[in-house]
Amino acid sequence: EGIHFDLSYTPLIHLGYRCVIAAISDIYAMNGRPEQILISLALSSKITVEFMEEVYQGVMVACKNYGLDLIGGDTTSSRSGLVINVTAIGKAAKDKIVYRSGAKVNDLLVVTGDLGGSYMGLQILEREKRVFLEHPEAQPKLAEYDYILKRHLRPEARKDIIPLLDDLKILPTSMMDISDGLSSECLHIARQSDVGIVVYEEKIPLDPQTYKVGRSLGIDGTTAALNGGEDYELLFTVPQAEHSKLENHPDFTIIGYVQDKSDGNIMISKGGNTYPLKAQGWKHF
């Protein structure tokens, strides 16, 4: 609480859902399938039974949607604030587990879905919170932001991608999920694979709503994609030979490639300039 979520605008049922998604997303990102979860809670005295029942409703819906068994956990009290910890257990075929460390020079860099939406949804929620604090009688205007709000409040993990890669006979050389922003994840793969990463700004997939809201708020969509997070899309590298399978596939976008470590981690802007990729912290809620 106060780090990954703000209870003032996070519906409790979504909070439970989102905590499960964040945990299982890491297992999909290893080309595995989550099977069980354990939940531990530290509760402050202000937390009621009804409150926790709502959180658990969200957890149970996530378990249903993703075929998970809730097999245990722990509960304790907390001096201040709510803490939720989810442990996910899953399985992967031994010869198909994908790590962050296998990217090779000349591999293609690929991302699923679109990026930056969760961050942009958060900006809207924070703006509405400020408006509400100043004008408690105001009605929130959220209808036109449905996609990005859902991206933030109730994200999904890309469980569909794992069988899809299998059908396409693609085994990524490295993979991870985008929970801290594209820049940060690229740098993780680069460091652990001992390579450099090139990202083309113009290739980064943004939803039209993300782009539009970004313009109205004065936030660059690229910045949201690079430094936002919690999109829970998958980022992976594959050999060049897989290009034709991915090129026009609606679920995938090729956004760059892997280069020699000595050439660094860079983004090539729409204008053709080169910028270093940097991981920038951001507030998660």
Instruction: In angstroms, give the least distance from the CB of 241 to its own copies.
Output: 33
Restricted to residues 36-55, the positions that interact with its own copies (CB under 8 A) are 38, 40, 42
* Count of residues near its own copies by CB under 8 A: 18
Write down the H helix ranges in the chain.
12-28, 49-66, 117-134, 146-153, 161-167, 182-193, 208-217, 221-227, 243-246
Residue 163 CB coordination number (10 Å): 10
* C-alpha distances in Å from residue 146, one per residue of 21, 125, 153, 196, 262: 19, 12, 10, 37, 43
Does the protein bind its own copies through residue 76 (CB under 8 A)?
A: yes
Binder to its own copies among 87, 106, 273, 280 (CB under 8 A)? 87
Q: Which of 42-48's residues contact partners 24+ apart within 8 Å by CB, and which partners?
A: 42/75, 42/76, 42/77, 42/78, 42/82, 42/83, 43/75, 43/76, 43/77, 43/78, 43/82, 44/77, 44/78, 44/79, 44/80, 44/81, 44/82, 45/77, 47/82
Does the protein bind its own copies through residue 79 (CB under 8 A)?
A: yes
- Binding segment for its own copies among 81-89, 167-175, 252-260, 263-271 (CB under 8 A)? 81-89
* Burial tier of 75 (Cβ tally within 10 Å: 0-12, 13-18, 19+): exposed
Does the protein bind its own copies through residue 85 (CB under 8 A)?
A: yes
Instruction: In angstroms, give the least distance from the CB of 151 to its own copies.
Output: 20
Binder to its own copies among 8, 67, 69, 74 (CB under 8 A)? 74
CA distance 111 to 99: 16
CA distance 224 to 119: 6
> Is the Cβ of residue 176 or residue 258 nearer to its own copies in the bound state?
176
Crossing angle (nearest 10°) for helices 117-134 and 146-153: 100
> Is the Cβ of residue 4 or residue 245 nearer to its own copies in the bound state?
4
Restricted to residues 2-31, the positions that interact with its own copies (CB under 8 A) are 2-4
Instruction: In angstroms, give the least distance from the CB of 85 to its own copies.
Output: 4
Instruction: In angstroms, give the least distance from the CB of 113 to its own copies.
Output: 23
Binder to its own copies among 8, 53, 67, 80 (CB under 8 A)? 80
Instruction: In angstroms, give the least distance from the CB of 233 to its own copies.
Output: 19
Instruction: In angstroms, give the least distance from the CB of 230 to its own copies.
Output: 13
> Is the Cβ of residue 4 or residue 261 nearer to its own copies in the bound state?
4
Does the protein bind its own copies through residue 276 (CB under 8 A)?
A: no
Does the protein bind its own copies through residue 69 (CB under 8 A)?
A: no
CA distance 197 to 189: 8
Does the protein bind its own copies through residue 273 (CB under 8 A)?
A: no
Tell me the backbone φ, ψ of residue 75, rounded to 5 degrees: -135, 135
> Is the Cβ of residue 178 or residue 195 nearer to its own copies in the bound state?
178
Q: Please list the residues that pair with 234 across neighbouring strands.
A: 177
Instruction: In angstroms, give the least distance from the CB of 195 to its own copies.
Output: 24
Judged by the rule CB under 8 A, the positions of this chain that interact with its own copies are: 1-4, 38, 40, 42, 74, 76-81, 83, 85, 87, 89
